[in-house]
Amino acid sequence: MNLADLYRDVIVDHNRHPRNRGRLECPTHHAEGDNPLCGDRLRLDVALDGDVIRDLRFEGSGCAISTASASLMGEAVKGRTRAEAAALFGDVHRMLTGGAGDPARLGKLAALAGVAEFPARVKCASLAWHTLNAALAGDARPVTTE
C-alpha cells in the first residue's frame, strides 16, 4: 500500500465513521461554519477546561473531505491547549496551500495533504478549522469561507 492509498483510506474511514460527532450538553464555546462553494455546513461545540480543549463535537452535512477533516481535527485537538490548536491550524493551513507543515505535529492530519492539488476543496478541508477558531474566539457570527 502506498502513501496515497493510505491517506485515501484514512479520509474514507473518517468520512464513514466520523469521530466526535454530535453535540455537547454543556459547551463553553460554539460556532457554525458554512462553505457555500461546496454546500458544507458545520456546527461545532467545544468544552474548554481552562485553556485546554477538553471535549468537542460537531454535526452538519458536507462532502467527504469536510466531514473527514472535522473528524480528524477533533481527534487532533482534543486535550490540547488553544495555543497548540492554533499552531496546528497553522501547519494544516500551510499543508493545504502547498507548503510542508510540520509532519511530526500533523500526524494523521497529513492524510489531507493531497487536497492541496485541488484548490476548490481547500475550503472544504479548512472549514472545520475556521469554525474552531471562531468558536474559541467567542465569535457568535456564523463563519463563511467566502
State which amino acid sits at residue 68: A
* Of 87, 89, 33, 27, the residue nearest 57 (C-alpha): 27
Helix (H) or strand (E) holding 47: strand 40-49
List the one residue from 29, 45, 56, 66 that touches Zn ion (CB under 5 A): 66
List the one residue from 7, 32, 52, 63 that touches Zn ion (CB under 5 A): 63
- Toward Zn ion, which CB reaches closer, 62 or 74? 62
- Toward Zn ion, which CB reaches closer, 38 or 116? 38
List the one residue from 53, 68, 111, 124 that touches Zn ion (CB under 5 A): 124
31 in Cβ contact with 20 (< 8 Å): no
Burial classification of residue 80, based on how many CB atoms lie within 10 Å of its CB (0-12 exposed, 13-18 middle, 19 or more buried) = middle
Show contacts with Zn ion in window 6-45 (CB under 5 A): 38, 40
Query: Residues in the site for Zn ion, rule: CB under 5 A?
Result: 38, 40, 63, 66, 124
